[in-house]
Chain A
Amino acid sequence: DAGVIQSPRHEVTEMGQEVTLRCKPISGHNSLFWYRQTMMRGLELLIYFNNNVPIDDSGMPEDRFSAKMPNASFSTLKIQPSEPRDSAVYFCASTPTAAKNIQYFGAGTRLSVL
């Protein structure tokens, strides 16, 4: 398996623009997680899905952030409008249902909002 695939690897955009990050989980994994990592706040969970259903989005910073999982093999994290403080590395992770703490992370998307 190719592992968790995230795209793009790098994104540079201007303040106010819409940004969409994409994630393809490992085939057969039932749970998917979106994390954000910054120097100030470290690695923090934004939202997670179980069987394509959002379970806990308490980590989503504000209404400008939204996430979807239309099917078991694809998820998006959207920021609209983007702000400079959204600059961070965004990671996606997936896991089989029975071992939720053993998560497999993608390589991340480095977002820079100018």
Chain B
Amino acid sequence: DAKTTQPPSMDCAEGRAANLPCNHSTISGNEYVYWYRQIHSQGPQYIIHGLKNNETNEMASLIITEDRKSSTLILPHATLRDTAVYYCIVRMHGSSNTGKLIFGQGTTLQVKP
């Protein structure tokens, strides 16, 4: 699996966009980028995933660079409830995949009032 690198921590003002970067320079052509987050004292929560096109859902947007070596998770209007650890994971997709997710240290996002 491709290794990911994330900054250990970031701050964001409430109501502003939070942009969380992830480097995955060794990603292969059939690997997707997944984002999860873990709010304090809760289990991890799936946010979004993508292959090479930008993706958006009700929670966030995912921007993947053209060479696919890095990506950015965007929370368009961060709230205090978005304070959490955000994990970027690279894995193959599909039923043949084992689903064996490897969570690194992630980025601790602190949203401040």
- The interface bits of chain A over 81-114 (1 if a CB of B lies within 8 angstroms of the residue's CB, else 0) are 0000000000101010111111111111000000
Once the chains bind, are B46 and A103 in contact (CB under 8 Å)? yes
Q: B44 contacts A56, CB within 8 Å?
A: no
Are A33 and B94 CB-contacts (below 8 A) given A101-B34, A102-B49? no
Among A56, A100, A104, A105, contact of B97 (Cβ-Cβ < 8 Å): A100
- The one of A56, A97, A98, A103 that contacts B101, using a Cβ cutoff of 8 Å: A103
Closest to B94 in A: A98
A48 CA / B44 CA spacing, docked (Å): 16
Is there an interface contact between B43 and A101, defined as CB atoms closer than 8 Å? no
Asked if B91 is at the interface of the complex by the 8 Å CB criterion, the answer is yes
A88 to chain B, nearest CB (A): 13
Number of residues from A at the complex interface, CB < 8 A: 25
Contact of A105 with B93 at beta-carbon distance under 8 Å, contacts A42-B103, A43-B103, A45-B101 already known: no
Q: In the complex, what distance in Å separates the CA atom of A108 from the CA atom of B94?
A: 26
> Known: A33-B99, A48-B100. Is A105-B43 also a contact (CB below 8 A)?
yes
Chain B, Cβ-Cβ closest to A104: B46
Inter-chain contact A101/B99, CB cutoff 8 Å: yes
Q: Which residues of the partner chain A approach B102 to less than 8 Å between Cβ atoms?
A: 45
Within 8 Å CB of A91, what residues of B? 43-44
Is the CB of B25 closer than 8 A to any CB of chain A?
no
Q: How far is the CA of A33 from the CA of B46 in the complex (A)?
A: 15
Assess whether B95 is interfacial by the CB under 8 Å rule.
Answer: yes
By a CB distance below 8 angstroms, the chain A residues around B15 are none
- Give chain A's interface residues, CB within 8 Å of chain B: 4, 31, 33, 42-45, 48, 55-56, 91, 93, 95, 97-108
